[in-house]
C-alpha cells in the first residue's frame, strides 16, 4: 500500500496544480485553432502540443522537464536558446520567397520600414511599464510579427522570456485575420480601399539573382547584427534564384524548414511551463505584444496614406498593413479586405512587396536592437 501511495505521489494527478490545467487548456485551444480554424496550423499545432508536453507535471530530478539539464527536451531546446533555429527558418523562407513584386515596385519597401516603427514604440511602452531594456526590446520585436525574429532576439537578450514572447508572437501571427481588418477599416476610407494598383513590370532572372546579394551586403553593412537572419534569408533566396542549386533550395524550403519548425514549435510550447509562464510579466508581454502588433499595422497604413500625398500614381493604403512581416497572412488579409469593397480588385500580389520588405525590416530592427543592448 505504501508503494502504491509513493507511486501516486509521483503521478501528474498529485503534482498538478490549477496552473497546469490552465496551460493544458491553452494548449488544447492552440491545437483547436490550428486544426479547426486553420489559423497557422503548421505553427499552432506543434506549439499547442508542446504546451501539453511541457505542462504535464513531472517529478523534478528525473531529467524530464525542458528546464532540467540532460533531458531530451532540454537538448532540443538548445536550438532555441542559442538562436540556431530562427536563422534556419529564415533559410527556408528565403528559399520559398519570390521577390519579384518587391523588385518591380521598390517604393513599396518603405511600407515595410514604416511598420517596424511599431517595434520601437512598443519598446518605449515596455520600458514605461517597468521592463528592463533587454526585456523591452524582446517584447517590442513582437510587433514585427515575425516569430523566428522574436525568438532569435529574445534568445540573445532575455532567455527567461522566450516562452511567453514566442507564444505571443505566434499567437498574434495566427490571429492576423482577426486583429488587422478592424484597424485597416478604421484608418482608411472606402474610396482609398478601392484604389487599384498598376500592373508591376516584368522582373528579369538576373535582377532576382543580384537582389539577395545586394540586400545582404547593404543591410548588413548598416546593421551587422542582422547577419544571422538576413544572411540566411538572402542565402536561401540565392539558392532558389540561382537555379543551378535547385536541390539545395528544395531541401531548404521543405525538409529543413519543416524539421526546424517542428522542433521550434514543440520546444517553445514545452517551455511554457505553468510556473514560469503564468506570471504577471507574461500578462504584460501579451498586452504589449497585442499593442505592438496593432501599432505596427497602423504605422504601415498611415505611412501609405502619407506616401499618397506625394505619389502621382496613388497606392492602395491597405498595402501598408502588409508591412508587418507575417508572410503571407497579412498580404492575404489585405486581399480579403480589398475584395470586400471591390471583388475585382486583386491586391495580393502587390501586398507581397511590403510583406517581404517587412521580413527584411524586422530582421534589421532585431539586429539594431541587439547591437544597442549589447
- Positions touching another protein (CB under 8 A) are 102-103, 106-107, 109-110, 112-113, 116-117, 119-121, 123-124, 127-130, 132-133, 136, 201, 203-204, 206-207, 210-211, 214-215, 218-219, 222-223, 357, 360-361, 364-365, 368-369, 372
| Least gap, CB of 354 to another protein (angstroms) | 10
Residue 86: which residues within 8 A CB-CB, separation 6 or more? 148, 149, 151, 152, 155, 228, 229, 264
Q: Which of 38/201 has CB closer to another protein? A: 201
| Least gap, CB of 220 to another protein (angstroms) | 9
* 25 to 21, 30, 174, 183: CA distances (angstroms): 6, 9, 18, 29
Q: Which of 194/222 has CB closer to another protein? A: 222
| Least gap, CB of 217 to another protein (angstroms) | 10
| Least gap, CB of 103 to another protein (angstroms) | 6
Whether 167 and 272 have beta carbons less than 8 Å apart is answered as yes
Q: Which of 47/295 has CB closer to another protein? A: 295
| Least gap, CB of 92 to another protein (angstroms) | 22
Q: Concatenated DSSP letters for 275-336? A: HHHSSHHHHHHHHHHHHHHHHHHHHHHHHHHHHHTT-SS---GGGGGGGS--TTHHHHHHHH
Q: Which of 14/214 has CB closer to another protein? A: 214
Whether 249 and 95 have beta carbons less than 8 Å apart is answered as yes
Question: Residue 368 corresponds to which cell in the numbers above?
Answer: 539594431
CA distance 73 to 54: 9
Q: State the number of CA atoms in the 13 A half-sphere of 150 facing the CB.
A: 35
Q: Which of 77/123 has CB closer to another protein? A: 123
Q: Which of 369, 187, 176 is nearest to 289 (CA)?
A: 176
Whether 265 and 47 have beta carbons less than 8 Å apart is answered as yes
* 192 to 106, 199, 297, 342: CA distances (angstroms): 21, 18, 16, 11
| Least gap, CB of 193 to another protein (angstroms) | 24
Q: C-alpha 130: how far from its chain's center?
A: 24
Q: C-alpha 7: how far from its chain's center?
A: 42
Q: Which of 177/212 has CB closer to another protein? A: 212
| Least gap, CB of 278 to another protein (angstroms) | 22
CA distance 280 to 284: 6
Q: Which of 112/289 has CB closer to another protein? A: 112
Q: C-alpha 84: how far from its chain's center?
A: 16
Q: Which of 252/360 has CB closer to another protein? A: 360
Q: Which of 54/112 has CB closer to another protein? A: 112
| Least gap, CB of 114 to another protein (angstroms) | 8
| Least gap, CB of 223 to another protein (angstroms) | 6
Residue 360: which residues within 8 A CB-CB, separation 6 or more? 109, 112, 215, 219, 230, 233
Whether 300 and 111 have beta carbons less than 8 Å apart is answered as yes
Amino acid at each position: 500500500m505504501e508503494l502504491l501511495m509513493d507511486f501516486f505521489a509521483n503521478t501528474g494527478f498529485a503534482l498538478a496544480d490549477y496552473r497546469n490545467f490552465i496551460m493544458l487548456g491553452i494548449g488544447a485551444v492552440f491545437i483547436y485553432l490550428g486544426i479547426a480554424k486553420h489559423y497557422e496550423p503548421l505553427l499552432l499545432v506543434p506549439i499547442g502540443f508542446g504546451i501539453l508536453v511541457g505542462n504535464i507535471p513531472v517529478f523534478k530530478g528525473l531529467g524530464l522537464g525542458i528546464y532540467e539539464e540532460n533531458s531530451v527536451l532540454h537538448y532540443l531546446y538548445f536550438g532555441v536558446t542559442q538562436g540556431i533555429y530562427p536563422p534556419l527558418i529564415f533559410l527556408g523562407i528565403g528559399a520559398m520567397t519570390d521577390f519579384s513584386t518587391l523588385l518591380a515596385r521598390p517604393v513599396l519597401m518603405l511600407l515595410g520600414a514604416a511598420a517596424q516603427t511599431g517595434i520601437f514604440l512598443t519598446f518605449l511602452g515596455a520600458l514605461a511599464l517597468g521592463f528592463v531594456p533587454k526585456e523591452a526590446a524582446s517584447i517590442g520585436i513582437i510587433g514585427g510579427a515575425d516569430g523566428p525574429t522574436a525568438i532569435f532576439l529574445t534568445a540573445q537578450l532575455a532567455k527567461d522570456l522566450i516562452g511567453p514572447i514566442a507564444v505571443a508572437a505566434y499567437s498574434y501571427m495566427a490571429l492576423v485575420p482577426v486583429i488587422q481588418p478592424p484597424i485597416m477599416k478604421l484608418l482608411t476610407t472606402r474610396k482609398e480601399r478601392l484604389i487599384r494598383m498598376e500592373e508591376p513590370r516584368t522582373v528579369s532572372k538576373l535582377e532576382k539573382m543580384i537582389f539577395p546579394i545586394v540586400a545582404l551586403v547593404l543591410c548588413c553593412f548598416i546593421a551587422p547584427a542582422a547577419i544571422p537572419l538576413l544572411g540566411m534569408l538572402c542565402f536561401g533566396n540565392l539558392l532558389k534564384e540561382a537555379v543551378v542549386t535547385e536541390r539545395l533550395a528544395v531541401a531548404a524550403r521543405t525538409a529543413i524548414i519543416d524539421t526546424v519548425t517542428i522542433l521550434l514549435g514543440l520546444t517553445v510550447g514545452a517551455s511554457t511551463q505553468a510556473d514560469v509562464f503564468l506570471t504577471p510579466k507574461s500578462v504584460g508581454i501579451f498586452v504589449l505584444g497585442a499593442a505592438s502588433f496593432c501599432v505596427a499595422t497602423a504605422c504601415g497604413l498611415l505611412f501609405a496614406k502619407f506616401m499618397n500625398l506625394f505619389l502621382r500614381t496613388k497606392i492602395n493604403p491597405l498595402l501598408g498593413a502588409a508591412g508587418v512581416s507575417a508572410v503571407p497572412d497579412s498580404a492575404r488579409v489585405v486581399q480579403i479586405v480589398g475584395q470586400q469593397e471591390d471583388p475585382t480588385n486583386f491586391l495580393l500580389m502587390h501586398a507581397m512587396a511590403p510583406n517581404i520588405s517587412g521580413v527584411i525590416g524586422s530582421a534589421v530592427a532585431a539586429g539594431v536592437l541587439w547591437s544597442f543592448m549589447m
